[in-house]
Structure 1
Amino acid sequence: MILSLASLFTQLAILLVLLALAHKPLGLYMAKVFESSKNYLPERIFYRLAGVDAGADQKWSTYLRSVLAFSVVGILFIFLMQRLQGLLPGQGAAVDPWVAMNTAISFVTNTNWQTYVPETTVGILVQMLLLAVQNFLSAAVGISVAVALIRGIKRAKTEQLGNFWVDLARASFRILLPIAFIGAVVFVITGVVQNFTMGTEVHNAALGVGQTIPGGPVASQEAIKLLGTNGGGYFNANSAHPFENPNAYSNLFSILLILVIPFSLPYSYGRMVGQQRQGYTILSVMAGLWAASTALMAWAMASAPAASGEGYEQRFGPAASSLFATATTATSTGAVDVAHDSLTPLAGGMAMLNMMLGEVAPGGVGSGLYGMLVLAIISVFIAGLMVGRTPEFMGKKITAKQMKLAAMYILVTPTLVLAMTGITMLLPEQLSNAPANGPHQFSEVLYAFTSAANNNGSAFGGITSSGPYFATMLGLAMFLGRFIPIILVLALAGSLAQQRRVPESSGTVPTHGALFGSLLLVISVVLTALTYFPALALGPLAEGLSR
């Protein structure tokens, strides 16, 4: 397979220009949304229905309880509605309980791991009123938690981090909904399907047989699945399906939607803390990791034999697929326009590494920013040790309490991934669900738990995950991988907000500029390498070296 460098550079240049144009205006707009004191009509209606006092600030513990209660109720509601689907006219049979449980957790945690065939398992009502709506809400939760951490960094001598319900409503109504609407219109223009039919019966005169052409509100769901870095497709083939992603224009626009909010949030961060250079430093590290990942992914795909091509959508080719594969795994999106199981071993390993970085390049909507800020706190702590001073971050001292929270944040996901992968590899009856042999079998299992715990949702397609064991284990990985880090981030935000601000001195380590950015980038890579290299060596690296 030959990867056209001209095609790759052309698409990359267009993408970079569009992201650069959106960075400041979108970042500024999002900052103003969360700094505003106004509540618009849709938000006021939501507050009234939910019984929310929009003027009440919340402690971190109250903010957290709101996040958890909202999410758990969402999981239960989506599970029950899937089980009751058989009672709804024209919506198909009730969804299997294991699949329904896994799907409910998956969409609430912004993972969108799909153990089912969407076009045959769930009807239009479930797709639109449950799954698509949850794509908005789960993304809004991620943005809200990031904003709460920013407030914790900015505020001093207070226990208040804002109001979760207000942040949720503003992220949904003012940011995600308008952009998704525009995105859906663009998708329709490029040829993505948007109708309200389960399928159209046609007769194929050439073959002499009838067939059903599937339909549905695809463009509207496609827009928010990408914008909210959710990733769940309306069709089983996801963004490789021509009804979801018909041509090169829709493919490039899909990548833009995936990256536009994560790459704009650093500007919002700089604006909200009053030091724009802080935001630029975070952005530069995110962009550097993403650029390196894209280059390595393109190189790994180009190393495939010229005759190969199974699993690659020929409408896009390897250049566009390498951009898409990097964007979808360097964020928490998980949508695919190429079968990741068909990638070369090194390209598949690169997709895993993107997720293992904590998806901070640039990461999921909201989660990428708060993940990078936790890494920045660890970096400034290490820098403080080097100069023999108590480390400070944005005028706040980083003490043992903050470092314990940051360290636990870093350890949660690797613990889930490695422990669950190890347990599964010891169960021969479960390994039969990953029928590949040798290192590739290990890679399929490792990829599944890496994807679930990092709330990504993509998979090596060779694994079957709809049975009770995998549905439960992956569900646990998704739930714990989403909410334990959120608990730690909000606790960290609360501890920072309670501190008084410390004035800068000659010994204060600057947390902006090329030097700190380089330190942050190196620490991000080194922490991942120390944690995951043995597992990668047993899987994709071993497979790649054996070829």
Structure 2
Amino acid sequence: MTWQGWALIALFIAFLAALAKPVGLWLFSLYEGRQTPLHVVLGPVERGFYKLSGIDPEADQSWRRYAVHMLVFQLVTAIFTYIILRAQGWLPLNQRSLPGLGADGAMNTAISFVTNTNWQWYVGEATVSNLGQMLALTIHNFLSAATGIAIAFALFRGFSRHEAKGVGNFWADMTRVTLYVLLPICVVYALYFVISGVPQTFAMSVDATTLEGAKQTIALGPVASQEAIKMLGTNGGGFFNANSAHPFENPTALTNLVQMLSIFAIGVGLTYTFGKAVGDTRQGWAILGAMTILFLAGTTVAYWQEAAGNPVLHNIGLAGANMEGKEVRFGTAASALFAAVTTAASCGAVNAMHDSMTALGGLVPLFNMQLGEVVIGGVGAGIYGFLLFAILAVFVAGLMVGRTPEYVGKKIEAREVKLAVLAIAVLPLSILGFTALSAVMPDGLAGPLNKGPHGFSEMLYAFASATANNGSAFAGLTAGTPWYNGLLAVAMWVGRFFVIVPVLAIAGSLAAKKHTPAGAGSFPTTGGLWIGLLVGIILILGGLTFLPSLALGPIADHLAMINGQLF
């Protein structure tokens, strides 16, 4: 480890802290439906959309109605994407004459992008046409990100409203987030990428001459526009198979830093938005504090292990950090930081190959996903996932002081606790269940490239990534088969919507309750004790649930490595 590496991590944290309030205030204005400076230009577009679609943005929806509209919208857009991918061989903007995707591959990809996972079993530049990249995939990067923020808004209203029947309007939330946050930022962001050297063209490819004098054909396409929303919306699906390790997606150290900041920007801002929504910004800062502690702990372990390198190689005279699978232009610190960022959020973009990390270095992104990606997390999904743990933490605290648990003025009763447990239990049931099934079935065992603990880690990582809607992978797994395309698609759908529906039910239940002022016996939820309790609850639940699987995978892999055995 070097001081330059730690300086990069410190700079990253400082920029995040500076972003929290301004981003949070902008999101809060949309949460409340207030006018912003952009309404002067984009207000007519918003009103025109409502008029054409027959939507009344002021119509308040119950949590059930909100959920039904959300689910129907996701299903319809998934079918639309499936059709585009299947039919791309007959559609325009297909200069490479790529055929349509197979049924299982198109289904997996459609569900992947609808659920904000962006799992890619395919080589992007050689499988999906320019039209497919833009119409089927990039559009979903906007819509899936907006959906996550809309669900977060609905839960915020559950905490902030008193004796209310509704939690907002799904269509109004989706429209405002897309129109006033995602689109304008991405226009500027994409222009920055173009200036930095990221392609934005309908040209199919460009020919280059290598140092050896050979001809190399390099794929091109509308990369910058997809890159912008992939990062800001924590989607992660790259135009190129190498993702953000490809110089056409991530040309410089500066674009690398900007990409990491954009992955966290909205998630950090939503913590401040929550504090404003409940009338106490200290609540938001406490949540961000707990998230930051967890993030720094994971980043430290990942950087330490990658900088330490592989002792087996050291013993044969190859000293130094672990640079396998990493870009020399980024190095160990930036690669370890990117891995922690992209899996703490539900992004999944990579600037290095996670499968080539050391055993404990690779454990960090895996564990980030197993926690449900609540450490900053995906846009919207991170904060509403974290609040599920906050409900459980305040329930435990209430038992300690012998009173009905209260959080930001709402009593937390049996219904909310049961729903929170139900939503949190989805992750281990899906991750461990599908991994166990794949570990004993021939079709599942045919996927891992490696044998032993690392092969098990490849399967465990895949289902953790799918269920947590991340999309990154231990690339040694051959996942483009009917077995994995099918099971991973189910895991992605379950991990997204089997969590969202209980979250909306909690929002509806809380919105109907009266406000309960904090009393002498109330557990404080803004100080260091509360932050420590949050961190402890998350780590204990994650550790107790996933420690056995981690022991079979990366921990066993690490113990073998330090004893001189490589699988």
Counterpart-to-counterpart distance in 1, 2:369 and 2:449? 23
Report deviation, 1:51. 2.5
**Corresponding letter in the other structure for 2:73:** F
Structure 1 range deviating more: 211-220 or 246-255: 211-220
Q: 1:136 aligns with which of 115, 118, 142?
A: 142
Report deviation, 1:428. 2.5
Report deviation, 1:97. 1.4
In the TM superposition, 1:380-529 aligns within 5 A as 380-529=394-543
Contact 2:85–2:136 at 8 Å: present in 1 too? no
Counterpart-to-counterpart distance in 2, 1:208 and 1:269? 58
Q: Which runs of 5+ in 2 are unaligned?
A: 311-318, 562-567
Counterpart-to-counterpart distance in 2, 1:479 and 1:68? 11
Q: 2:362 aligns with which of 334, 342, 348?
A: 348
- Tell me what 1:25 maps to: 22
Contact 1:190–1:249 at 8 Å: present in 2 too? no
Paired residue secondary structure (1:211): strand
Report deviation, 1:210. 3.7
Provide Cα deviations, 1:101-121, integer angstroms capped at 9, x if missing partner. 100000010000001111011
- Tell me what 2:383 maps to: 369
Q: 1:293 aligns with which of 298, 302, 314?
A: 298
Taking structure 2 as the reference length, the TM-score comes to 0.94
**Corresponding letter in the other structure for 1:46:** F
**Corresponding letter in the other structure for 1:458:** S
Contact 1:293–1:350 at 8 Å: present in 2 too? yes
Q: Does 1:69 align with 2:60?
A: no
Paired residue secondary structure (2:68): helix
Provide Cα deviations, 1:309-330, integer angstroms capped at 9, x if missing partner. 2211111111100110000011
Contact 2:82–2:106 at 8 Å: present in 1 too? yes
- Tell me what 1:323 maps to: 337
Report deviation, 1:203. 6.0
Identity %: 49
Provide Cα deviations, 1:18-57, integer angstroms capped at 9, x if missing partner. 2222211111111011212557222222223332111201
Contact 1:123–1:198 at 8 Å: present in 2 too? no
Q: 2:6 aligns with which of 9, 14, 26?
A: 9
Q: 1:174 aligns with which of 154, 170, 180?
A: 180
Counterpart-to-counterpart distance in 2, 1:181 and 1:296? 36
**Corresponding letter in the other structure for 1:223:** A
Report deviation, 1:208. 5.3
- Tell me what 1:336 maps to: 350
Q: Does 1:186 align with 2:189?
A: no
Report deviation, 1:534. 0.3
- Tell me what 2:283 maps to: 278
Root-mean-square deviation over aligned CA pairs? 1.4
Q: Does 1:150 align with 2:156?
A: yes
Q: 1:537 aligns with which of 548, 551, 558?
A: 551
**Corresponding letter in the other structure for 2:12:** L
Counterpart-to-counterpart distance in 2, 1:55 and 1:321? 46
Counterpart-to-counterpart distance in 2, 1:422 and 1:279? 38
Counterpart-to-counterpart distance in 1, 2:428 and 2:349? 22
Contact 1:454–1:481 at 8 Å: present in 2 too? yes
CA gap 1:48/1:543 in 2 versus in 1, 3 angstroms:
same
Counterpart-to-counterpart distance in 1, 2:53 and 2:275? 32
Report deviation, 1:130. 1.9
- Tell me what 1:223 maps to: 228
Contact 1:60–1:490 at 8 Å: present in 2 too? yes
Report deviation, 1:205. 7.8
CA gap 1:58/1:205 in 2 versus in 1, 3 angstroms:
closer
Counterpart-to-counterpart distance in 2, 1:36 and 1:525? 36
Counterpart-to-counterpart distance in 1, 2:78 and 2:208? 41
Provide Cα deviations, 1:165-185, integer angstroms capped at 9, x if missing partner. 000011111111111122212
Report deviation, 1:431. 0.7
Report deviation, 1:206. 5.9
Q: Does 1:95 align with 2:101?
A: yes
Structure 1 range deviating more: 300-309 or 153-162: 300-309
CA gap 1:203/1:64 in 2 versus in 1, 3 angstroms:
closer
CA gap 1:205/1:256 in 2 versus in 1, 3 angstroms:
closer
Report deviation, 1:300. 1.5
Q: Does 1:104 align with 2:110?
A: yes
Counterpart-to-counterpart distance in 2, 1:500 and 1:135? 37
Counterpart-to-counterpart distance in 2, 1:226 and 1:203? 28
Contact 1:332–1:364 at 8 Å: present in 2 too? yes
Q: 1:357 aligns with which of 359, 371, 389?
A: 371
**Corresponding letter in the other structure for 1:13:** A
Number of residue-to-residue matches in the alignment: 543
Q: 1:56 aligns with which of 36, 54, 59?
A: 59
Provide Cα deviations, 1:74-99, integer angstroms capped at 9, x if missing partner. 11000001111111135121112111
**Corresponding letter in the other structure for 1:295:** T
Counterpart-to-counterpart distance in 1, 2:344 and 2:288? 14
Q: Does 1:86 align with 2:100?
A: no
Contact 2:210–2:216 at 8 Å: present in 1 too? no
CA gap 1:205/1:540 in 2 versus in 1, 3 angstroms:
closer
Counterpart-to-counterpart distance in 1, 2:110 and 2:505? 26
CA gap 1:472/1:205 in 2 versus in 1, 3 angstroms:
closer
- Tell me what 2:257 maps to: 252
Counterpart-to-counterpart distance in 1, 2:245 and 2:208? 25
Contact 1:406–1:488 at 8 Å: present in 2 too? yes
Taking structure 1 as the reference length, the TM-score comes to 0.97
Provide Cα deviations, 1:251-285, integer angstroms capped at 9, x if missing partner. 11111111111111111111111111111111101
Contact 2:366–2:464 at 8 Å: present in 1 too? yes
Structure 1 range deviating more: 368-377 or 43-52: 43-52
Q: Which runs of 5+ in 1 are unaligned?
A: none
Counterpart-to-counterpart distance in 1, 2:298 and 2:454? 21
Paired residue secondary structure (1:421): helix
Contact 2:466–2:491 at 8 Å: present in 1 too? yes
Paired residue secondary structure (1:98): helix
Counterpart-to-counterpart distance in 1, 2:297 and 2:82? 40
